[in-house]
Every structure is written in C-alpha cells, then in structure tokens.
Chain A
C-alpha cells in the first residue's frame, strides 16, 4: 500500500496555516527536515540527555530535567521539569516507584512513535491509549533469592488506537513504533550502565 505525500490541511476554514504544518500534532515537514540535515551531518546526531536527582528522605527523591545536548549544541527544555519517586509501602508518598517510571517511559516512547509513524504515513489518529505492565519478583531486589533477577521478569504493553485506517494498518503502527523506540531498545537489549562515585 503506498502512502500519499503528506500535504497537511487544517479542517477549519481558516485561510492560511498559522503554524508549521502538523499532522496528529506532529510537525512532519520539520521532522523530515531534521532527518535530512542529520543524514548529511551525522556528527550532529550525537545527543545526550541528563537527569539530576536529589534525595528528599528515605526512599523519596526528585529528579530535575532541564538541560540536554544535541545537534551540536546545548539546549534547555521549555521548563525545568521535575519528577519524584518513592516506595509505595516503605516511603512517604513522594511519588510512584522508579520501576513505574520505566513503564511510563516505555508507554510514552511507544505512543510517541505511533503518533509520528501515523503522521508520516498520513493516518489521522484520534486516540492512543497504552497500558504497560511489568511483572517483578521482589525476592531479587530484597536479596532473598540470588537466582531471581532484580528487574522485571517480563513487560507487556497493550496499545489501543482509534484512527482513520483499517485495523491492520493501525496494528502495523505499533510494530513499527517498537522497531524504532529508544526505550523499547533499552529494555530489550543490553545497555552499558556505569555507576560511580563523583570524582
């Protein structure tokens, strides 16, 4: 099935688009422009993201995410974002567990990929609901049984999409998104993680 080239039009009767063209809220031309630029200048594709975490009390902490590096220069997010985490029974209610942030990260990454892939393929979406569930045997993290791993033993994600395309085309958005998802990759393949005291 070939897709049409995306010439986005707003559904309202306004005379001229006020902002750069967006499909499903994704600025498709800007995205394609970025891809073209990075294809010609791959050194600009080296990015780095950072989270700065500060302890509150017990198992409770807050991360601040503000600066990021990419396309050859330093940037700041539009705001200083924060996220707090804590333990559900042994903590003080500062936030959900780190493991749940991982599920959020996975769901967010996959859903963003679905929206973007759909935009690229000219498929209009009205809803993407993603539920991510992770099973974990806590004998691992509690040190009770050394044969049990610390992390999730399995993760299942259910993606529910409503859009302007046949069911198979919508299902294909999910597999395509997972193929290109950063968080899916991190969870399914080994990643080097080095933890050290500050020098």
Chain B
C-alpha cells in the first residue's frame, strides 16, 4: 500500500497528528497494534484517573464537553473520549496492526506490519513514552516467591496477596498505588528517591491551572538550559480525585504508609535503602517553594491577588527517621513504579542514541521525513501530556508539509 504519511499509534498523539494532516489534506494511515486508545484499555489500573483536570483535555478540533470540567476523567472515560475523537475526525486507523519494522528506502520509508507493507514519504512515531517499564537490576536478587509487578500490570488491591507491599518509586504511579493499597488496609512501604512535590490546589486553583496560566507547560525545549535534566524529571506526585486532595509524602505518611529511601540493594534477605532520603525531601521542598514563588509573582504582576486566597506554603516534608533496611521476609509483593522507557526494536539503529532512545530535535528525527510525538518535553514541557500533543502535532505537521513540498520541488 502507498500513502503519504504513516502514523504509528492511535492514541491521543497519533489521532491529533491525523487530524492535523487531514486539515492539510495530506493522505495518511494510522497503524494501531490493538484498538484506538490501546494503552488506556490494557495498561491502566482500575481506579486510575487523569492527573490533569478535564478542561485541560484539548485536542485539535475536539475538547472535553462534559459537565465536570474541574474533575478528573477515569481511564474508561479517556477511552471513550479518544474513541469518539477517532470517529469524529474520521481517522484512517488500521487496528490490530503491529509494526515489525520501519526501513528507509530510496523513495521514503517502508513500514512492514502484521497485516501488510506500507510505503510512504513520511513516518510519525506516536507510540507513547510508557511502553516498557524500567526495572532495576536488583529485581533479579529478590526471592523468587515474591510477586513482582509494574503499574502496567497492577489493577486493584484485591489482585495482590494480603501481605506487606513494597512500592518502589515515589512519582505519580508509585504514590497513587501506595496510597490506594494503604486505604484498602494493606501494610505498605514506599521507597522514594528523587521526586517532585506539588499541592493539588494552590490559593483555590488547581495546580495545573497555575502551570498552564503561568506558561510553565508551554516552556520550549530549546529555551531550557539543561533539557536533558528537564526531560528526566520524575512525574509529578499528584492524583486526580473529586476531593482534590494532595498526594505528597506527608499525605502518605498521614495514612500510614511507611517511607524509606531509594531502594539501593539486597543483601541476603534484607532490602537496603539509601540514606539520601532527607536530602531528596529537602530538594523537593525547595523546588516546590520556587514554583509557588513564581506563581505568587505572576499573580501579583497580573492583578489576580484580590480574587485569590492568600499565599501560603505547605509544611516541609515531615519525616520520621527513615530506616535503611527492611526484612524482605515480611514483604510478599513488590511494585516497581520505577519509570518507563520506550523500546524501538523496529526502528533503524542509527535513529537511536546509545541508550536506545530516539534522537530528535523537538520531535524532528534524524532522518528527513521522520517525526516523533508524545515524548517527555519533546517540544514543550507538556509534550507527553494529553493537552500537549495537539500543539506539537500542529508544529510538526507544518514541518512535515514543508518537507513534502521540498520533495515535490526536487522531483519536478
């Protein structure tokens, strides 16, 4: 089959790009290994909700129109929203089509899939940032009787054994899972290293409203002094609940989750945790303070103070002495909430860096005609968020259109 552009992935990124290409009358196909919004169907736990308020679900020509704009959609609702989007924009999606390879040819690219071959002038990789969990090597040293899983496998507390659970990682997934397990009566320990602490609301407004309004989410990749560091920032310690509660280490401690430092090693049947815990907490508290200072400055500069609650600062992370060891005999489940890193065995090696990640400049890959969407801070701080794929798709579809024009000119 021939088309102009092959889009790989029919999640929010692939669909957004499809809409942008349709608006530019550029022929394309969207390949999806499962059904539209596949990851949302198969790789999310039962109670999961978006971290971002519903009004922040804005895709090209389609936004949230429900009656709870300040609430947080469930995974099921996201599936419905994206499936509806796909239909509304008439996205040319080929479902149950898995990509086996993408190869550069003399006329563009050949994508080989489980349902056939597609030749195109351009390719957009929209497979998401969370396909492969990153599990540290120490997992292999844990006793084989232990049940080990990642947020991708986790569904609900009842699916786990009754014993103590060690959640490794204090970013959004780890914090949310530890919180849920604890509220269901489990004995939970969470091992935390670097993390980003945020209140759910500040001065009466959702923290995402602030980040959006102040312009933080639109910060560009080429404006950052250390983009590598910005891209590696842990995901925000937030949860989306109707009560709009804050989910930080103080909150976890408050419901009885035991806090320990980064999981550093296994010695016999003892788990070892780093003594760096208080330093990471101090760092997170300082970073939070800087963000709130930025917000207060913005509010003052824009005359918003009269309409808002007064500025305040959350309590420092209050810590009991964090133990550095734990007898693994008491633990029967380990949840590795230690992050994800996408894998690209189907891409040519020279497109990837020495860690197997796509080399790109703001989403423009190292091969004319190839683009990637949806990676953390790829073009903007919000590039991997639901609300970020739209602007990135607009930018990159423009770049793609120019590339096609160049090809046409060269050919004539």
Report which A residues bind B (CB closer than 8 A): 1-3, 42, 155, 168, 171-172, 174-176, 178-179, 184-185, 187-190
Can you name 19 A-B pairs with beta carbons within 8 Å?
A1-B290, A168-B286, A168-B290, A172-B286, A175-B283, A178-B276, A178-B279, A179-B194, A179-B276, A184-B276, A184-B279, A188-B261, A188-B264, A189-B265, A189-B272, A189-B274, A189-B275, A190-B264, A190-B272
A171→B282 CA distance, assembly (Å): 9
- Residues 269-316 (chain B) with a chain A CB within 8 angstroms: 272, 274-276, 279-280, 282-283, 286-287, 289-290, 293-294
A189→B354 CA distance, assembly (Å): 27
Of the four ranges (under 10, 10 to 19, 20 to 34, 35 or more), the interface on chain B belongs to: 20 to 34
Chain A proximity of B14: nearest CB distance (Å) = 32
Q: B286 — which chain A residues lie within 8 A by C-beta?
A: 168, 171-172, 175
A184→B287 CA distance, assembly (Å): 21
Q: A1 — which chain B residues lie within 8 A by C-beta?
A: 290, 294
B330 contacts A by Cβ under 8 Å? no
CB-CB nearest in chain B for A177: B279
A187→B274 CA distance, assembly (Å): 9
A137→B329 CA distance, assembly (Å): 27
* Contact in complex: A179, B279 (CB < 8 Å): yes
| Known contacts A2-B225, A3-B225: A188-B289 contact under CB 8 Å | no
A174→B294 CA distance, assembly (Å): 21
Chain B proximity of A167: nearest CB distance (Å) = 10
B101 contacts A by Cβ under 8 Å? no
CB-CB contacts of B249-277 with A at 8 A, as 1s and 0s? 00000000000011011010000101110
A109→B194 CA distance, assembly (Å): 20
| Known contacts A1-B290, A2-B225, A3-B225: A187-B283 contact under CB 8 Å | no
Q: Return the 6 tightest CB-CB contacts between A and B, nearest first.
A: A188-B275, A175-B283, A190-B265, A189-B264, A178-B279, A188-B276
Q: B294 — which chain A residues lie within 8 A by C-beta?
A: 1
Q: B354 — which chain A residues lie within 8 A by C-beta?
A: 42
A188 in complex: contacting residue of B274, B282, B287, CB < 8 Å: B274
Chain B proximity of A95: nearest CB distance (Å) = 27
A189→B294 CA distance, assembly (Å): 35
CB-CB nearest in chain A for B228: A39
Chain A proximity of B3: nearest CB distance (Å) = 38
A187 in complex: contacting residue of B261, B275, B290, B293, CB < 8 Å: B275
Q: B289 — which chain A residues lie within 8 A by C-beta?
A: 168
Q: B261 — which chain A residues lie within 8 A by C-beta?
A: 188
| Known contacts A175-B282, A175-B283: A189-B276 contact under CB 8 Å | yes
| Known contacts A188-B261, A189-B265, A190-B264: A175-B275 contact under CB 8 Å | no
Q: A178 — which chain B residues lie within 8 A by C-beta?
A: 276, 279
Chain B proximity of A36: nearest CB distance (Å) = 12
Q: B283 — which chain A residues lie within 8 A by C-beta?
A: 172, 175-176, 179
Chain A proximity of B237: nearest CB distance (Å) = 17
Q: B262 — which chain A residues lie within 8 A by C-beta?
A: 189
A187→B294 CA distance, assembly (Å): 35
Chain B proximity of A190: nearest CB distance (Å) = 4
Q: A2 — which chain B residues lie within 8 A by C-beta?
A: 225
Q: A155-B275, A178-B276, A188-B275 known; 6 other A-B pairs, CB under 8 Å?
A: A1-B294, A171-B286, A175-B280, A184-B279, A188-B274, A189-B264
Q: B275 — which chain A residues lie within 8 A by C-beta?
A: 155, 187-189
CB-CB nearest in chain A for B265: A190
A185→B274 CA distance, assembly (Å): 8
Q: B280 — which chain A residues lie within 8 A by C-beta?
A: 175, 179
- Between B264, B279, B280, B287, the greatest number of chain A beta carbons within 10 A of the residue's beta carbon is seen for B279
A178→B282 CA distance, assembly (Å): 11
Chain B proximity of A199: nearest CB distance (Å) = 27
A96→B27 CA distance, assembly (Å): 76
Q: A171 — which chain B residues lie within 8 A by C-beta?
A: 282, 286
CB-CB nearest in chain A for B285: A175
Chain B proximity of A189: nearest CB distance (Å) = 4
Q: B287 — which chain A residues lie within 8 A by C-beta?
A: 172
